[in-house]
Amino acid sequence: DGGITQSPKYLFRKEGQNVTLSCEQNLNHDAMYWYRQDPGQGLRLIYYSQIVNDFQKGDIAEGYSVSREKKESFPLTVTSAQKNPTAFYLCASSMDQGEEKLFFGSGTQLSVL
């Protein structure tokens, strides 16, 4: 089945540690996105990528980094500069940047130890 796979489901970060969240899609979509969701809140855009080797900052990019070396993969690194990383992280993709029908992964819950 085609879809988006996020791993791990749960992740714990120690103080001062960088952690990387995985996002893989086999939908052959050009565009991919990362969102952050805090409890009881909506989604906020962290980064998005319209095509391989290109990505743009979203509304809350500080303390995060991404790469897009392959069409299928868009990993998100939560750096030690992100002082409040505890949140639910969601990855999504769309056929292209102009397509507003998004397909989401099942999310990664990141917590700080």
Partner 1 sequence: DAKTTQPTSMDCAEGRAANLPCNHSTISGNEYVYWYRQIHSQGPQYIIHGLKNNETNEMASLIITEDRKSSTLILPHATLRDTAVYYCIVPPIQGAQKLVFGQGTRLTINP
Structural contact between residues 102 and 93, judged by C-beta atoms closer than 8 angstroms: yes
Please identify which residue in 67, 103, 111, 112 interacts with partner 1, judged by CB under 8 A: 103
CB of 40 to partner 1, least distance (A): 8
88 binds partner 1 (CB under 8 A): yes
Q: Which residue has the tokens 């996002």?
A: 23
Stretch that binds partner 1, among 12-20, 43-51, 60-68, 71-79 (CB under 8 A): 43-51
Exposed / middle / buried, residue 80 (Cβ in 10 Å: 0-12, 13-18, 19+): middle
24 binds partner 1 (CB under 8 A): no
